[in-house]
Structure 1
Amino acid sequence: MTANLIWGGLLLAGLVYEFLALRSTRRGDTLSERVRAWFRVHTRPGRALFAVAWTGFAVWFLVHILA
């Protein structure tokens, strides 16, 4: 029960922050804008790194959940 409350609270906090960031006029607050900046996707190496990281995570998570 405690784990559900903690994970639920974290997810809810993230959703609330994202909602507020979408409604804000400030640039750079949304998760997608942060990910673009962190991975520097405006560069070819940044795009490649993000693609590998995202694909690797997606494959791992799928196998992790279904196994």
Structure 2
Amino acid sequence: MTTADQLWGTLLLLGVAYEIYTLADAEHGDTLSERIRAWFRVHTRPGRALFTAGWSAFAIWFLAHIVG
């Protein structure tokens, strides 16, 4: 296993661990999905459009990047 694999694996595990912690926590607004909703202000029409366009562009790029 390379150092890059270990680093990315550690980051992924830390992210999952923190998400599990926030799900068990009684405080609202600290999960990844709640933070993304707040950052992009998806409760507004422009925020929803910006998030949809950004997510779609990222998904298309990432699919092409991985498969192509």
Q: TM-score normalised by the shorter chain: which range applies?
A: over 0.9
Partner of 1:63: 64
Specify the alignment match of 1:27 in structure 2.
Answer: 28
Partner Cα distance (2:40, 2:47) in 1 = 5
Q: Percent identity?
A: 61
Return structure 1 stretches of 4+ with deviation > 6 angstroms.
none
C-alpha distance in 2 between matches for 1:60 and 1:47: 20
TM-score by length of 1: 0.99
What residue ranges of structure 2 are gaps of 5+ in the alignment?
A: none
Partner amino acid, structure 1, of 2:61:
W
Query: In the TM superposition, what is the alpha-carbon distance from 1:55 to its structure 2 partner?
Result: 0.3
Quote the Cα distance in structure 2 between the aligned partners of 1:2 and 1:24.
Answer: 32
Q: How far has the Cα of 1:22 moved from its partner?
A: 0.3
